[in-house]
Structure 1
Amino acid sequence: MRYAAQFSDTISLGQGTPLFPTPYFIYEALLERSKVDGKIGMYSDAIPEIEKNLIELIKKQIDDDYGFYPNSKELILTLGGIGALFSSLMALIEKGDEIIFFDPSYPLHLSQIHLAEATPIFVSLKENDGWSFNIDSLKKAITKKTRAIILTNPNNPTGTVLSEADVRAIAETVISNNLILILDEAYFVLTYGKEIFSPLFIPELRKHTILCRSFSKEYAMTGWRIGYAYAPSELAERIFNIHTYFSICPPTPSMVAVTAAISDPRGKEAMAEMIKKISESRNAICTRLDNLPNLFTYHTPQGAFYVFPKFLGFEMPDMDFAKLLIKETGVITVGGSSMGPSGMGHLRMSFASDISVIHKAFDRIDKFYQRCGL
């Protein structure tokens, strides 16, 4: 995207963010609260009821989504889901530890593993079988240095949603090896025709799991930077301490905004409408990819809002091809090699935008396709 900044009239299928405005009632709620409460701009400990109320709402959300009601000592509010993930790694990992990384997966996980001075151990997903996961490959990757498995489900970038059998196989492996599962479920609400089976549905796995989620994707609030971690209380205390040392606290105005988002019925209505539009864009991008069989091959995403096609007919690194697309079409994508070795030769495309954006981008790619004589 830095490369794309030198060009005018670009269309982004690159950044993983819903290209929809935050619902306006959330702004209104924050404005009204700010008129009567001068502490909104202070650290959250100046108005502890804001944090307490939000924690209670998250506990109810966890009960609704996962079927259990955590206690307050098991929850930490964080600077987005990224703050939850990084604090968890820093609280858990020692230099030289190994972390299982399903490949390809979210590239910021890789960066955070390196920052924690741990070693990522790649367990490749099988593209020829719909980016499926192999339990034997996972078991062979575990050593005495293995500390945790990091899992994004639904997967970013492949859009894969693990089956219940796969989740149970991972759970058995985590428990039998006394590991921690760091679970990134930022896209929990975004699945298409396949119900998600979360590892947290398995009660005995919960004491081995750190859940990291945010409100960024669900309510189009990526810039508000509020997320949370759920973990066993002893781990949660360490995560809280790490997060405090690098952030003090999440932004107080954003806590007010998120409280409005998840307590007002209009929040769920706005979420449902956004998911409907993203589903339409998913259908559109798949149709447009189907019309370019000599340029792309792909698997239909079951969740999240990404498709991860392999490009054909060009013998070059994926980052170079992504730059070529920008130069020739103005369409921004992300090279797949940043997401692990199995991502080489692929592009991540986000369809988290209005259907008109998808068609505009692919109208340009179609012309490039024709110029190339494919």
Structure 2
Amino acid sequence: MRADRPESGRGRNAAWAVAAAAALPVVAEVRVARTEQPLTEQWRRAPVRKRGSTRLGISFRPRQAEAMGLDLRESLDRLLEHPFEVIRLGAYWNRLEPEPGAFRPEELDWQVDAAERAGKQVIISVGAVKNFGYPEYFVPDHVLDSPLREGALVVPDAQGPLLAGATAVINRVVERYRDRGSVIAWQVEHEAVDPLGMEHSWRLATAFVRREVETVRIADPTRPVMLNGFLPTSLPVGAQQWWRTRDQGDSLAVAQLLADIVGIDFYPRHAVAGTRGRAVYLAGSRSPWQQRVRRSLFEWASLERSRAVMVSEGQAEPWETITDPPNPFAAAAYSCRPEHLIENYNQCMSWNDGAPTRLSAYLFWGAEYWLARERDGDPRYLAAFSRVLAES
């Protein structure tokens, strides 16, 4: 028995060594910090990478602008004054069809009109079930008799009325705006086959999304279709995403199957838990495994001239543990300070170096937040955005 004990000890030590080695990459991605950080002028000194042929732009989220107490038209006009090329606008199903048989596109009409007057190119996200901007779910109440079952895969045969309603509204949106010269692409769904954050566990099936994409292509065979997906930037999030989508792949995988343009949603720093003014953050965007995922997307796009990769959401506002990004007085949230707007852009522009193709576009995420910060006395985010436009 005594002779066995040293072997057992060595075995336990080896097991601990293996566990520690496996944990090291995760530990390297974890940060613990105060949620509120001092404002600095680092955004003035940060270098700005050249973008080459990559077009720059923003997304406009009317619901978030309202939640921040901003006037929608004034906010959009203010943003359109800046010399970026592309803007993404959303066709929100519950706004277009508030009751059965209705079609009320007036809000999207004036947004497209304003973008055209400003000389912008427009990507219209047609949804329909999911679309960008919280809560990301925009199905009208009258379409479903009961909520989608948690944990379910939403397939066409089981959700015929939902699919019929989604394809009908998509068709109407595409038909209405396909003659607009400013429209350069259609986005279908939002992170199409991923679960809806941590709030819902149901997922759209690839077959459901395929039908929506087919609807767009029939209504407008001349423009590309974009599907976007969340690019995990830490091992814990990547493992969770793989597990939750292991049966059919995540949204980036399905985008490569169905779309002409793959949109990457890139958030290199976000909070996962917090209390009493401190939070735990994940930040692993420079890890080798994450870079392999990104390189595979570039290789996919390089195989055919009709394919492209873009950053559909480049983090430029905080992602903390609350739904609305915090707006602390005389401070900045740790997950995205003004200098990070430039840093995140720079990191994505570095992806073009030596790649078989280039990012076709980079859309900054958080433009409404910049306006709210400026209104409340902090113009740094908006000024950092202006620096990128002027110096890239």
What TM-score do you get using the length of structure 1 for normalisation?
0.29
> Over alpha carbons, which structure has the higher Rg?
2
What TM-score do you get using the length of structure 2 for normalisation?
0.28
Higher helix share: 1
